[in-house]
Amino acid sequence: MSYQVLARKYRPQTFDDVVGQEIITRTLRNSVLNGRIANAYIFCGPRGVGKTSIARLLSKTLNCEKPPDKSPCNECISCREITQGNNIDVLEIDGASNNGVDEIRTLRENVKFSPSRAKFKIYIIDEVHMLSQGAFNALLKTLEEPPSHVKFMFATTEPHKVLPTIMSRCQRFDFRKIPPKMIYKRILAIARKEKVNVDEKAALLIARSADGSLRDSLVILDQMISFSGKTILPDDVMELLGMVHRDKIFGLSDAVIENDPGRAAGILDEMITGGKDPIFIVNSVIEHYRDLMILKTTGDPTFDMAFTGDELEKLKAQHAKLSLEEILYILQNLTHCLTLMKGVVFTRAPLEITLIRLTRRGSMLSLPQILARLQKMEEDGGETGEALSAGPLCPEATEQGGPEADHRQRNFGGEINDNGSQGPDLDAAKFHWKAVLNYVRNKKMSVFTFLSAAKPVEFGEDKVVIGFGKDHSFNKEALETADNRGIIEEAVNKVTGNSPRVEFTLLEFLGESARNSGDDAGKRAKAKEVINPVIERAMDVFGGHVVRDFMEDQK
């Protein structure tokens, strides 16, 4: 007798043999038991999950010669013929090769005839989505009102390609991918029946590589038996399938967790030198961190995962060292890396860059930490570390000699008065100026807008002089009203504890400085004096400058 592959040899013969589709088998069993049989069924789902097998089981159950039960007997003539595929009343049609209108017209003519021996004439059409639109239309009427002795069963991997008018005439069942742990158990059970010794890790590797398809896993098992004989080890599976060793993935993950770029680069080089595809490596690492994410989120190591005992212990140890935010950050970078790799020829470089970045994540602040620091800055009045620079605002004033530069220092630097004596220390003014601006901004936005263009020229206990550039005379006039001046005096009092008189003046050089600061550094220096400290910190970190203040446009 010719050899029969495992996928056919161990095809489900009863509903109890079906793996991972309990809801569907329960529904079909009850419909048979209660006599509520639909005219047509459509089974949707990925390959190798039992669509055609369940169609055959339902056909056997309906035509079984024994009294109606929840499963076929597999002993009567009808059951045996359907199992062997030679029952003339149960016809399996390939939709891909019989997709024309003529084939469907022939089918439509044949449904009129009663079954030869069975109770029902059953048409099983696999890959039904391959039928042409004309073929679908030719089937509509027959599908809606078939003879009482005819049942239709369709199977498809792409239900979105089936006409809605066809779908609406069928009972739809959606098959899911089979979880790896169920495939793993099935592989071990079949291996015992075949008297093959399969290592647990090897069975796990086969189950994972099958991607939810039990048929694919049995095909791989068949291939492994031919490759390794009666003993199948993990190394054999990885060698045959070109897989990445799980220990390497754990080692690479440890290097990322411990922020060790050298070790990560070394492990990656070993895998690539050993012939592993970088894209396959990334997918394996993504799958590993996905397991960490599920374990971190659910706390249940049995949730949709299959591991040996030592693998589970390693996974728990790694998951304890990472926060959920870190795991999500790593996954985000790896998935982005995978996208980049698909667009380049030298796929190794994006992977190396990503791994090095991930091993340096310890030097980066998390988003909650950044927000907490920015919030503290705002609560402290925007002061973080060193206050505003004690030097003059305009850099040309320090680089150029002569009377003009000296004049600018006398007027704005606060170091030398016109008579040559030491004047008021403007460090205090610069230290408190942001706090004054913040207070005014919260008090009255229009006053803050006008005041943002100014700088403190003199900041004493009895008098505060605020200078405007020549091109901001309108701002000066607006603030000289009693109400606006009062708000500024109130702000100075709250910040310093003093009650000085506030005066305003126009300064020639201040306007020039603002106009001449065309470079990015000048723009940032000017903008930093007048904006929210949170935005100021962002400009320092990212090297930007304010182009337009939309909040001010709305005032």
Same domain, 348 and 405: no
Same domain, 18 and 153: yes
Same domain, 473 and 522: yes
Same domain, 533 and 459: yes
Q: Does the model's pTM come out above 0.75?
A: no
Domain presence at residue 434: yes
CATH of residue 319's domain is 1.20.272.10
Domain presence at residue 422: yes
Residue 254 has pLDDT above 60, yes or no: yes
pLDDT tens digits, 480-532:
888 888 888 888 888 888 888 888 888 875 544 333 334 444 444 444 455 56
Q: Are 296 and 327 in contact (CB under 8 A)?
A: yes
Same domain, 230 and 252: no
Token reading at 207: 């189950």
Domain presence at residue 369: no
Picking from 144, 174, 204, the residue at the C-terminal end of a domain is 174
CATH of residue 16's domain is 3.40.50.300
Domain presence at residue 545: yes
CATH of residue 206's domain is 1.10.8.60
Nearest 5°: the CA angle 370, 376, 377 is: 90
pLDDT tens digits, 301-349:
666 556 666 778 888 888 888 888 889 999 999 999 999 888 888 889 9
Instruction: Give me the chain's average pLDDT, please.
Output: 80
Domain presence at residue 376: no
- Kind and range of the H or E element at 463? strand 463-469
Lowest mean pLDDT among 103-112, 190-199, 507-516: 507-516
Higher pLDDT, 76 or 415: 76
- Give the residue-averaged pLDDT of 137-154: 89
Residues in contact with 385: Cβ distance below 8 Å, sequence separation at least 6, in sequence order: none
pLDDT tens digits, 110-130:
888 888 888 899 999 999 999
Per the structure, the count of domains in the chain is: 4
Residue 55 has pLDDT above 60, yes or no: yes
- Give the residue-averaged pLDDT of 38-61: 93
User: Chain-centre distance of CA 546, in angstroms?
Assistant: 32
Same domain, 134 and 261: no
Same domain, 205 and 300: no
Picking from 215, 241, 267, the residue at the C-terminal end of a domain is 241
Dihedral sign for Cα 361, 363, 369, 375, please.
negative
DSSP 3-state of 168: coil
Same domain, 548 and 409: yes
Looking at residue 392, its pLDDT comes to 36
Same domain, 192 and 263: no
Looking at residue 384, its pLDDT comes to 43
Distance (Å, rounded) from C-alpha 534 to C-alpha 378? 7
Dihedral sign for Cα 214, 217, 222, 225, please.
negative
**Eight-state DSSP code of residue 416:** B
CATH of residue 446's domain is 3.30.300.180
Taking residue 13's Cβ as centre, other Cβ atoms within 10 Å add up to 17
Same domain, 35 and 151: yes
Same domain, 488 and 448: yes
Lowest mean pLDDT among 70-84, 218-232, 419-433, 508-522: 508-522
Q: Are 64 and 87 in contact (CB under 8 A)?
A: no
Domain presence at residue 368: no
Same domain, 72 and 167: yes
Higher pLDDT, 363 or 359: 359
Residues in contact with 257: Cβ distance below 8 Å, sequence separation at least 6, in sequence order: 318, 321, 322
Looking at residue 146, its pLDDT comes to 86
Token reading at 438: 């913040």
DSSP 3-state of 136: helix
Show the domain range for 514.
396-553
Domain presence at residue 378: no
Domain presence at residue 381: no
Distance (Å, rounded) from C-alpha 261 to C-alpha 335? 19
